[in-house]
Structure 1
Amino acid sequence: MEQPQIRSDLTELRDLVRQFVDERDWDKFHSPKNLATALSVEASELLEPFQWLASGDSRELGDAKLDGIRHEMADVLMYLIRLADKLDVDLFEAVLAKMDINRAKYPADKVRGDSRKYTDYKT
C-alpha cells in the first residue's frame, strides 16, 4: 500500500525541482552530462565530513556536520531527480527493477552477513 505514496512523493519532488529550475531559466544548463557531473560532485562533497572518522556515526559527527550532511544529501537527491527527469527515467520503477536484479545476484540465504561482491561467490 505504501508504494503509491512513494511515487507521489518522488513526483512532488520532481515538480518542485522543475519549478525551481524554470523560475531561474536554468534548464538550458541541465544536460544529462552536466547533471551527472553535478551529481558526482555533490556525492563527493557528501564524503568530506566523513573523511578520517573511525565510523562516521552520528555521535562522531555532531550536530553541525550532520546538518551539512543533510544538505549534501538533499543536493544529491535533487540532482538525481533532475537527471531522471531529463532522461525520462521513472526512479520508482528503476528501483523496483534493480531490487529484483539485486535479489537474484545476492540471495539472502547465501549472502547473509557477507559483504563480498556477487562475482566473488562460488556457486
Structure 2
Amino acid sequence: MKTEIEAIIEKIKAFRDERDWQQFHDPKNLAICLTIESSELLQAFLWKNADGADVEKIKEELADVLYSALLIADHYNLNIKDIIEAKLKRNAQKYPVEKAKGSNKKYDDL
C-alpha cells in the first residue's frame, strides 16, 4: 500500500512525464528550481507581517517548493519519512531541550 507521499510523488511524475519534462528535471536543475520557488514563497511575505501574507500565494509557492523537493528525493530513492526522522534525531542531539528550549541560538552557541 502506498503512503500519501508516495501517491503524491506518483501524481507529480505523471504530470511531468505527460509533458516530457523529465529531461529537464535532473537533480541540479531541481535544486535550482527549489531555490527559485523558495524565493517566490519569501516574496509572499515581503513587507508584510505573517498575518498579512496572501495564503493563496503561499499555498501556490509552497506546492512548487514541495514539487521540486519531492522529485529530488524520488531521483535518489530517498524515503521522506526516514530522512526527516534521521534529521530530527541529529537535531535533537545538537539541540538538547535543556539547552535549546526557548532559544534561537545555533547549536554551537548554546
Q: Report the TM-score range of the alignment, normalised by the length of the smaller protein.
A: over 0.9
Q: 1:42 aligns with which of 30, 37, 44?
A: 37
CA-to-aligned-CA distance 1:45-98 (integer Å, 9 cap, x gap): 000021122x312xx23xxx2101110001101110011111221111100100
Partner of 2:69: 80
CA-to-aligned-CA distance 1:2-54 (integer Å, 9 cap, x gap): xx9xx71110111111111111111111110000000100000000021122x
Q: How does 1:17-28 map to 2 (within 5 A)?
A: 17-28=12-23
What is the TM-score when the length of structure 1 is the normalising length?
Answer: 0.84
> For structure 1, which runs of at least 5 residues remain unmatched after alignment?
none
CA RMSD of aligned residues (A): 1.4
Percent of matched pairs sharing the same residue: 37
Q: Which amino acid counterpart does residue 18 of structure 1 have in structure 2?
A: K
Q: 2:24 aligns with which of 23, 26, 29?
A: 29
Check if 1:90 corresponds to 2:79: yes
Distance 1:28 1:86 in 2: 12
Distance 2:91 2:74 in 1: 24
Number of aligned residue pairs: 110
> For structure 2, which runs of at least 5 residues remain unmatched after alignment?
none
Distance 1:113 1:83 in 2: 33
Distance 1:40 1:10 in 2: 21
Structure 1 segments of 4 or more deviating over 2 A? Answer: none
Partner of 2:46: 51
What is the TM-score when the length of structure 2 is the normalising length?
Answer: 0.94
Q: Could you say which structure has the greater relative contact order, defined with CA pairs below 8 angstroms and 6 or more residues apart?
A: 1
Q: Which amino acid counterpart does residue 50 of structure 1 have in structure 2?
A: F
